[in-house]
Structure 1
């Protein structure tokens, strides 16, 4: 059982990484902007929701988790469908905690960088 909990936290890492990269990073910017446009302008609800998935890290993490579980057959607590269901929501939750922490760290680093730039320009002006 302890190993399953360990695997839960490890398996959430690639989910968080993939979901964050696709929905937030520059490398997918053009595709994401296309999806944002389509999620706002499509005439059918199903199409709008399909494209929205690629713009929301929380939503996209569900799909990445489903693929990961299909590949790994990882279950928690039970060896049947209940174990898949529990592991699905557990991995999504842990992955989103990871992404939230990563976002907080990035914001703090940006704040520190801005402070350092202001101090540096203030010293140059003196």
Structure 2
């Protein structure tokens, strides 16, 4: 695989990694398991148990494990064709996926802010009419 193809793979493969990591760590569909893991990450007796449960509450941490799964599924390597290519690809994919998640969070925050402002303006307009 040539370098330009590897770079395209990097940008494309980071998208589903970001999607899975964000969904598990933020979206309503996984709220109950996430809250359980959050509580266990605070209450478990051993460090290993606390860290294990914490992985499911942090998108950055969880994205490392999602990346490993995608590397196994795709065999994607970056720059080098041996085992070192997996390591480079892993860290590059985590970085890209977290960039996508940060961008998504920023856009989402802007959308929520706009919706809130619209509701406020609508209420003000209704009050003026009354």
For 1:45, the equivalent position in structure 2 comes to: 47
Cα shift at 1:36: 0.3
Q: Write the distance in 1 (CA, Å) between the matches of 2:17 and 2:75.
A: 15
How many residue pairs get matched? 126
TM-score in terms of structure 2 length:
0.96
CA–CA separation in structure 2 for the residues paired with 1:45 and 1:77: 36
Q: Which of 83, 91, 99 lines up with 1:89 in the alignment?
A: 91
Aligned twin of 2:35? 33
Output the CA distance in 1 between the equivalents of 2:87 and 2:40.
31
Which portions of structure 1, spanning 4 or more consecutive aligned residues, are displaced by more than 6 angstroms? none
1:3-62 CA-to-partner distances (Å, cap 9, x unmatched) read 100000000001000000000000000000000000000001000000000000000000
SS in 2 for 1:55: coil
1:21 to 17, 23, 32: 23
**Aligned Cα root-mean-square deviation (Å):** 0.4
For residue 113 of structure 2, what is the aligned residue in structure 1?
111
1:28 and 1:67 mapped to 2: Cα distance?
19
Any stretches of 5+ residues in structure 1 without a counterpart? none
Secondary structure at the aligned position of 2:16 is classed as helix
- 1:110 CA drift (Å): 0.5
Helix, strand or coil: the match of 1:54? coil
The alpha carbon displacement at 1:81 in A equals: 1.0
Q: What residue ranges of structure 2 are gaps of 5+ in the alignment?
A: none
